[in-house]
Amino acid sequence: MTDRDTQTNEDDLLLIADAAVVAKCSPATLRRYEANGTITAVRTPGKYRLFRRGDLEKLAQLRPTHA
C-alpha cells in the first residue's frame, strides 16, 4: 500500500458549490446537513468546507427526488 492509498485523495474533496451539484441540493442545504450531523465537512485553514465525493454520492441516493 502506498502513501497515496492511505491518504484522502484531494480530487475527492469538493468545495460546497461543486458538492451541491453532486449531492443534487443547494449549498444552503449542505450547510444545514453539516450543522445537524447528516454529513461531515473537512475544514481548510481558511475555514472553507470541503466535502467528500463518496459521502455526497450516498447522500444524493438517499434524498427523495421530485418529479
Query: Band of the pLDDT at 8, cuts 50, 70, 90?
Result: low
pLDDT for the residue numbered 63: 72
Question: Is 54 contained in some domain?
Answer: yes
> What is the C-alpha separation between 1 and 20, in angstroms, rounded?
32
Write down the residue that cell numbers 461543486 correspond to: 18
Query: For residue 66, is pLDDT > 70?
Result: no
> What is the C-alpha separation between 43 and 37, in angstroms, rounded?
15
> What is the C-alpha separation between 43 and 41, in angstroms, rounded?
6
| Nine-digit cell string for 4 | 497515496
Provide the domain count of the chain: 1
Amino acid at 9: N
Question: Is 41 contained in some domain?
Answer: yes
Q: Who has greater pLDDT, 63 or 4?
A: 63
Tell me which residue range forms the domain holding 55.
Answer: 3-62
Query: For residue 6, is pLDDT > 50?
Result: no
- Comparing C-alpha atoms, which of 32, 29, 55, 26 is closest to residue 42? 55
Q: How does pLDDT run across 20-63, given as a tens digit for each residue?
A: 999 999 999 999 999 999 999 999 999 999 999 999 999 999 87
CATH code at position 38: 1.10.1660.10
